[in-house]
Structure 1
């Protein structure tokens, strides 16, 4: 059996951490672009790049080390106040961050880096470096990303190194184990260990989550300083550390750390040299402790008495995630990375649990047990437990849309440069959580919509100035939870949809009849027709007639809807409405012509009994419901789905008022309401394609398959079957 490579797991963790650091870098650059150029914002950017460089050096990723090293040098110019982070500089930093992300992905996948994509930006970065920074760089003749400070001098002879190692509480909560570090040190030479118990309180005052124990280590070794420091590189920010060398009776300068302790006679430490080091964090290099300005006295070669440890200051080593991705005042939370396949299996098991719970409820109902029966009461507790488990599992899969929005920011920059239009990208609601599967499948349609907004939606700078607008266009991407769904909007402040031109192109391509009377909404809907394009010349961005129809299909496959609103001269907004999860939803089970259907609870605003006096006729086939001084379209769901012909009277039926984002759109007539329950969503798109008004299917407690309706889509497409009339949606008033 092949032994798993422990470095492969560590390497994978490094690249996952790079994603977190890239997110922190993008946040910092966004704040810089917004004018928030304080020291902490600049430090966030610098630490993110610096941490990636250190980790890349540990794995020999030379391309990543080289680029990040030059990038952090320019960021250090900003930290030192020698470079002003103006708009153009920040834009360059953003382009450099995009390339840095590419190099990370290439390095992760083992692909070569294209110099033609890297070198131009690298030269632009180098042009920003001041002469002073160039001189400082020239002094460093051999950059070693693995080292925390300059190596010990002299030939490789045995030397005595005194180490003080004091873990912080986060070291233990992150899964690191000091014994592995001590074993790794033991492999470097002869070692004596003395525990420091001075900070250990009495048993009644002991905090089990505190870190009270420290160790004094005397290591006799011929290894250089870099190898010793490599032992602790992945626990930086999780411990306090000092390293001092004693050689030939001299007390040499210490790496900044804690004041050394007076050591008692060290017992023989029987530590096994075999070790399995489980590193977690990438390294962060502290300043050179040999600088006289830091207050470290030079070695006194005149002293020949017994060596005394030199005074030292606390080491400034920080966790890249804790410092770059979170404010300093926020304590880090313990996290664990889990394979997505395991979560998917858990979600599927919860879905089966929901189905079994429904079947059990059906059996108990058929048995006719009294409500005070222990079986019924126990079933109610089981139903609540099932719901709690389902909610918890859905929270595990939910992720903020922030990572997706940051990827789209790059699309805006690339498209803006390609078409020569300056664009400002604004995001809102980045913390909105959506099912991970939804986020992944939204990337392609949103990318196409963003490109369309820049390429087609925004005018040229000269046209904007002539219209009294700023030369820089604005694209706004927002996300929010509304009525049990997530709504994502892509807005631009361009010229809006040129509806006469859209209709003319549709007539020219034979998509509609010439001279056909159409409303604004119907003209806007032409943009989603296959083969429609307003571009006359094919480019890298558009013009091939494969666009918004694919976007709509992708969103429909997610159980969502996309709509357009546009104002001439003011801009266009594409709105995407999606379910929060693709696994389970709360639904109302209704009966229509003997068929069980499920209507999502989030789409139902109100239920009421059918009353003939509330019904009005508009033409021969269309009826509306009079409610609270307003009229809404009324549909017989059985007729609309083709289950039965229209009844002479719907007396005894139930009316469901359908709402979308708080706006009442219409009413549906159903024969009866059975119950409200959680249902497991089973997609129909792969086997049956898209059916108007049908979102998915589910399995009920009696084993019956029931369709899950999309009532909003049902109202929008009502009357499209032969012999029916499209009802006009009425305002609610």
Structure 2
């Protein structure tokens, strides 16, 4: 039972994570000026769901804090508190504490000190006039005049006081509901209030969907001496418009205790010939007191006088039912509302998805082995191309199960930049692209810190102040571009700013001062740019809350390399800097070209290949001891010898080799010299990082049809490398 409870609680924490993402997006939108009812309601629902689940699992601290936060959101949602920038700022600070409480509930952190946040929330409520912070009840149509208190009645021989009721209390519920409207009956669990549940909040949620309170049954409320303030006694009857989907109604009851009464059904359409249209039985004649109340004892005494009417009504209904013709099927079908289909979801352990991904990869490898062992005629006979197509479709669908849009990682950036704008006094604009690029869920969770450090570095160091920008002929407001895209077996996440760029002279001087490099070191511009990722390096004159301790970019490089990726930095003084995280795909199938380098087989991703050339004598020219170009129809394209980059021994003449013209992101067209091209094949990318350290110039490995292993080339790293820059171990020569 304990294991089952832990599993359910794990699902709750996953829902907490989703709710926190939704709440953060909504609060960021509110901070940006979007205070629409839909945005506010989205934040409220997220916090309400977290509070409800926390109460169910006994997380008292999380429940208490979320309850106070929810009260403020409910007042904002109801228009009783204006969502001013000050109020939104309090809610953003409260959201941070709510996230800390969730981490504490998971056991990943200690209980946060939320006294200041609770005081700020209480202040918002008090200033509004809500006193103890309890949300006001939804307004219900008030009677013309409040009834006078019932007169005290003498106790009987057993010590009980007769309950006095008014004849007006027996009015039938309102029949104003339209044909086919929903009728909802809700009686919360008796212990709902004791478990931090608030039935009124559910009623208000229903009212936002268009519900109307038709009746409230208060007959179960005990005498005052027996009343428990933490028990729920009321039963609500509401009507809901017919066009509201049933799933939307049931969503309002997600975290209601299972012993609550929830009845949702369609209202019956009345007709003149309805055999069950009973005439109301007249109220018993009994003497009412001067206040218009009749003792219940009088009703009981007259029960025998009414029973005959009840029996006769039932007999008449039975006779009418026997004589009535059966309803036509078409009429019955027409009266049945159209079912609303909802998307069905299921939670699956990530380990199971990983196993499925690996099995699909093995299927592709076996397909490749089969293709190598069959003759061309046999391949067509066994429909091998069709098998390869189906395998690829399976792989794409399985990958989509684990892949998530990178928007989840990008969503925190707008709010972060607004806070940084306040701290730095700079006006910062944000432009994003590629938010729908799908990345492995594990990668999304791990790039949060690197992304945060790069954004903070761009805002603090990269962008100038408004005065400096105006003096440099720029717009007063700086801009940061955030983008993501997939190319081949890699994901590229870029943070670019239009600031001052990297001051390489200052960076070099700081590196010498801190002993990172020697004073006589000869470094290229790219190598100087990479120095900002050295441990303890910082050019900040003073330490602030944003930067100055020299750990930010070091964390970026460490985290990215731990994922098997690399960090690239390009900068133009006076124009800006671009940080690029190049991350590997966990598993994918790509179209590759099998090439040979010094008799070893490698895979060249076809997505980069433009054309291949057999060089003629004199077509490849050396322009310096370390650089070569190839004449491509009057256009000179740089040439890279992959065997030299990896330190492989090969004395083959250039005319005996092939030049593969590839398109790179940062260097345009480049010719890559290979020995031969063996085949074109779909290959499965296997990460090297789980068994080896990251090797620059290689994007992974694969298993070929004959069972041998081939390394997959990373084109972007190769074309950016100087000759003899890499060794077989991936270290600088």
> Is the structural similarity TM-score above 0.5?
yes
714-723 vs 61-70, which moves further: 714-723
Taking the aligned partners of 1:217 and 1:337, their CA distance within structure 2 comes to 31
**Equivalence for 2:255:** 282
SS at match of 1:129: helix
Taking the aligned partners of 1:570 and 1:658, their CA distance within structure 2 comes to 28
**Equivalent of residue 401 in structure 2, options 391, 396, 402:** 396
**Equivalence for 1:128:** 124
Q: How far 1:716 moved relative to its partner?
A: 1.4
Q: How far 1:133 moved relative to its partner?
A: 4.1
SS at match of 1:36: coil
Taking the aligned partners of 2:656 and 2:495, their CA distance within structure 1 comes to 44
Rg (Cα) greater in structure? 2
Taking the aligned partners of 2:221 and 2:556, their CA distance within structure 1 comes to 75
SS at match of 1:128: helix
**Equivalence for 2:156:** none
Post-superposition CA distance 1:649-668 (Å, at most 9, x none): 33353221222238624111
339-348 vs 633-642, which moves further: 633-642
- Would you say 1:430 and 2:435 are equivalent positions? yes
Taking the aligned partners of 1:424 and 1:136, their CA distance within structure 2 comes to 40
Per the alignment, do residues 511 and 618 of structure 1 end up closer, same or farther by CA in structure 2, a change over 3 Å counting?
A: farther
The answer as to whether partners of 2:454 and 2:495 remain within 8 angstroms in 1 is yes
Taking the aligned partners of 1:551 and 1:476, their CA distance within structure 2 comes to 18
SS at match of 2:500: coil
**Equivalent of residue 580 in structure 2, options 575, 578, 581:** 575
Per the alignment, do residues 561 and 11 of structure 1 end up closer, same or farther by CA in structure 2, a change over 3 Å counting?
A: closer
Once the two structures are superposed, the pairs formed by residues 59-458 of structure 1 within 5 Å of their partners are 59-109=57-107, 112-115=110-113, 118-129=114-125, 131=127, 133-135=129-131, 137=133, 245=217, 254-257=236-239, 281-283=254-256, 302=294, 304=299, 332-364=342-374, 369=375, 371-373=376-378, 376-407=381-412, 427-458=432-463
Q: How far 1:687 moved relative to its partner?
A: 4.9
479-488 vs 494-503, which moves further: 479-488
Taking the aligned partners of 2:608 and 2:573, their CA distance within structure 1 comes to 31
**Equivalence for 1:593:** 598
Q: How far 1:249 moved relative to its partner?
A: 14
Per the alignment, do residues 624 and 73 of structure 1 end up closer, same or farther by CA in structure 2, a change over 3 Å counting?
A: same
Q: How far 1:139 moved relative to its partner?
A: 8.6
SS at match of 1:598: strand
**Equivalence for 1:673:** 677
**Equivalent of residue 33 in structure 1, options 26, 31, 34:** 31
Q: How far 1:94 moved relative to its partner?
A: 2.0
Taking the aligned partners of 2:569 and 2:292, their CA distance within structure 1 comes to 78
Per the alignment, do residues 42 and 546 of structure 1 end up closer, same or farther by CA in structure 2, a change over 3 Å counting?
A: closer
Per the alignment, do residues 229 and 256 of structure 1 end up closer, same or farther by CA in structure 2, a change over 3 Å counting?
A: farther
- Would you say 1:684 and 2:688 are equivalent positions? yes
The answer as to whether partners of 2:467 and 2:476 remain within 8 angstroms in 1 is yes
Once the two structures are superposed, the pairs formed by residues 695-714 of structure 1 within 5 Å of their partners are 695-714=699-718
Taking the aligned partners of 1:50 and 1:473, their CA distance within structure 2 comes to 38
- Would you say 1:625 and 2:621 are equivalent positions? no
Taking the aligned partners of 2:719 and 2:86, their CA distance within structure 1 comes to 49
Taking the aligned partners of 2:13 and 2:485, their CA distance within structure 1 comes to 30
Taking the aligned partners of 1:419 and 1:218, their CA distance within structure 2 comes to 52
Calculate the TM-score normalised by the size of structure 1: 0.68
Taking the aligned partners of 2:627 and 2:665, their CA distance within structure 1 comes to 25
Taking the aligned partners of 2:501 and 2:679, their CA distance within structure 1 comes to 45
Post-superposition CA distance 1:181-228 (Å, at most 9, x none): xxxxxxxxxxxxxxxxx99xxxxxxxxxxxx9x999999x99688799
| Structure 1 unmatched runs, 5+ | 142-153, 158-163, 165-197, 200-211, 260-277, 287-298, 309-329, 724-733
Per the alignment, do residues 666 and 560 of structure 1 end up closer, same or farther by CA in structure 2, a change over 3 Å counting?
A: farther
700-709 vs 540-549, which moves further: 540-549
**Equivalence for 1:660:** 664
**Equivalence for 1:161:** none
Give the total of aligned pairs.
595
The answer as to whether partners of 1:477 and 1:489 remain within 8 angstroms in 2 is yes
| Structure 2 unmatched runs, 5+ | 138-159, 164-172, 174-178, 223-232, 242-250, 261-290, 311-339, 728-733
Per the alignment, do residues 604 and 559 of structure 1 end up closer, same or farther by CA in structure 2, a change over 3 Å counting?
A: farther
**Equivalence for 1:728:** none
SS at match of 1:41: helix
The answer as to whether partners of 1:234 and 1:283 remain within 8 angstroms in 2 is no
**Equivalence for 2:315:** none
Post-superposition CA distance 1:416-445 (Å, at most 9, x none): 788787866665443321122322332333
The answer as to whether partners of 1:552 and 1:562 remain within 8 angstroms in 2 is yes
Taking the aligned partners of 2:510 and 2:447, their CA distance within structure 1 comes to 29
Taking the aligned partners of 1:34 and 1:699, their CA distance within structure 2 comes to 51
The answer as to whether partners of 1:43 and 1:79 remain within 8 angstroms in 2 is yes
SS at match of 1:495: coil
SS at match of 1:335: coil
* CA RMSD, 1 decimal: 4.9
Q: How far 1:336 moved relative to its partner?
A: 0.9
**Equivalence for 1:716:** 720
The answer as to whether partners of 1:394 and 1:581 remain within 8 angstroms in 2 is no
Per the alignment, do residues 609 and 41 of structure 1 end up closer, same or farther by CA in structure 2, a change over 3 Å counting?
A: same
Q: How far 1:234 moved relative to its partner?
A: 11
Taking the aligned partners of 2:726 and 2:689, their CA distance within structure 1 comes to 24
516-525 vs 84-93, which moves further: 516-525
Post-superposition CA distance 1:662-682 (Å, at most 9, x none): 862411111221222232333
**Equivalence for 1:551:** 556
Q: How far 1:478 moved relative to its partner?
A: 2.8
SS at match of 1:534: coil
**Equivalence for 2:494:** 489
Taking the aligned partners of 1:430 and 1:398, their CA distance within structure 2 comes to 13
Q: How far 1:347 moved relative to its partner?
A: 1.3
**Equivalence for 1:44:** 42
Taking the aligned partners of 1:481 and 1:600, their CA distance within structure 2 comes to 13
The answer as to whether partners of 1:634 and 1:668 remain within 8 angstroms in 2 is yes
The answer as to whether partners of 2:183 and 2:238 remain within 8 angstroms in 1 is no
SS at match of 1:563: strand
SS at match of 2:447: helix
Per the alignment, do residues 133 and 256 of structure 1 end up closer, same or farther by CA in structure 2, a change over 3 Å counting?
A: farther
Per the alignment, do residues 609 and 234 of structure 1 end up closer, same or farther by CA in structure 2, a change over 3 Å counting?
A: farther
Taking the aligned partners of 2:458 and 2:107, their CA distance within structure 1 comes to 32
Per the alignment, do residues 249 and 476 of structure 1 end up closer, same or farther by CA in structure 2, a change over 3 Å counting?
A: closer
Per the alignment, do residues 424 and 636 of structure 1 end up closer, same or farther by CA in structure 2, a change over 3 Å counting?
A: closer
Q: How far 1:386 moved relative to its partner?
A: 1.7
SS at match of 2:636: strand
Once the two structures are superposed, the pairs formed by residues 645-656 of structure 1 within 5 Å of their partners are 645-647=650-652, 649-656=653-660
Taking the aligned partners of 1:92 and 1:424, their CA distance within structure 2 comes to 23
Q: How far 1:459 moved relative to its partner?
A: 4.8
The answer as to whether partners of 1:587 and 1:601 remain within 8 angstroms in 2 is yes
Taking the aligned partners of 2:715 and 2:585, their CA distance within structure 1 comes to 17
Q: How far 1:5 moved relative to its partner?
A: 5.3
Taking the aligned partners of 1:248 and 1:549, their CA distance within structure 2 comes to 66
Calculate the TM-score normalised by the size of structure 2: 0.68
Q: How far 1:595 moved relative to its partner?
A: 1.1
Once the two structures are superposed, the pairs formed by residues 465-504 of structure 1 within 5 Å of their partners are 475-482=480-487, 485-504=490-509
Taking the aligned partners of 1:73 and 1:415, their CA distance within structure 2 comes to 29
